[in-house]
Copies of this chain bind each other. A is one copy, B any other.
Amino acid sequence: MAIDDGLVELASRLADLARPIAVRHFRSTLAVEDKEDESPVTVADRQIETVIRETLTAERPDDGILGEEYGAERLEAEYVWVLDPIDGTKSFATGKPLFGVLIGLAREDRAALGVVDMPALGERWIGGPDHPTTFNGAPIRTRACEDLSGAWCHATTPDMFLGADETAFRRLKTAVKHTLYGGDCHAYGLLASGHVDLVVEARLKPYDFMGPAGVILGAGGAITDWRGEPLSLRSDGRVIAAGDSVCHRAALDLLRA
C-alpha cells in the first residue's frame, strides 16, 4: 500500500523546519551540557524537537510521537513519529558536519517512511518501503555486493560494541574489505546511495534507526536487527543494514555465529 503523499510532504516540511535551527547553532559557542548518559545535548536538539512536536500535534493530533529529548506519547497509535532532532551530537559539538536530523514514521510498528537530513551538508534522503528513496530529490538505489570480502562497512565507533557484541563485530570486521568509523547517521544515507555496502551498529534507540530504516528500505536495501527481524520500536538496538540482500544474509550469519 502506497504511503499517503501528505505524509511524505509533512516529513519533508518537518526537516525543512529543523535544518535552519541546526545550522544556526552549529559551530556556535553554546554550552554543551551533559545528560545522565554522558551524551552532549545542545540547545538545537531541544528547539528542533519542540518545533517538530508542535507541528505534529497541530496537524496529526492522533499520531504517536517518540522523541529523544521529550519522550513518548500515544505509542499505541497506528502511526508513530520517531524523532532524533540531532543525531551525532558529539560530531555536532566538535564542528564535524556529519550530524543529522532523523525523522522516522512507523506504521503498526514497522518503518513506513524515513528522513535522514544533513543540515550542514545540505543533503537529504527520504523514502520508505512504499516510497522509493530520493537524495536531494533524485531517485537513488543501493549497489550490488554479493561477496562480503568486497564490502565496505561503516560503524559509528567500535566502542558501541560490548561483550559478545564486540566479538561478533570483530568477526564481521575481519570478513569485510574495509571498516570505517565516524560516519554517524550519514553512513545510512551513503549506503542508500550505493557508496557503502554495510552499516553495523549496536546500542541504538528507535529514534536512531527508524528514520534510516525507511531510507534504506526505499532504496532497495535490507535493514534488520542482528537476528534478522524487522526493526520495531521494541528492537534491542542492534542494527545491520546492507545494500544487497545476499551481503545482508552473510553478515547476519557472521554476527550470529
Is A183 located at the chain interface by the 8 A CB criterion? yes
Contact count band on A: 20 to 34
**A187-220 vs B, Cβ < 8 Å mask (1 yes, 0 no):** 1001001011000000000000000000000000
Is A180 located at the chain interface by the 8 A CB criterion? yes
Say yes or no: A196 contacts B91, CB within 8 Å.
no
Protomer copies: 2
Is A90 located at the chain interface by the 8 A CB criterion? yes
A180 vs B98: C-alpha distance in the bound complex, in angstroms?
12
CB distance from A54 to the nearest CB of B (A): 31
CB distance from A59 to the nearest CB of B (A): 34
A77 vs B26: C-alpha distance in the bound complex, in angstroms?
43
Known: A95-B195, A190-B95. A180 touches B90 (CB 8 A): yes
**A149-189 vs B, Cβ < 8 Å mask (1 yes, 0 no):** 00010100111000000000000000000111111001100
A186 vs B195: C-alpha distance in the bound complex, in angstroms?
20
Q: List chain A positions with a Cβ less than 8 A from chain B.
A: 27, 40, 90-91, 93-98, 121, 152, 154, 157-159, 178-183, 186-187, 190, 193, 195-196
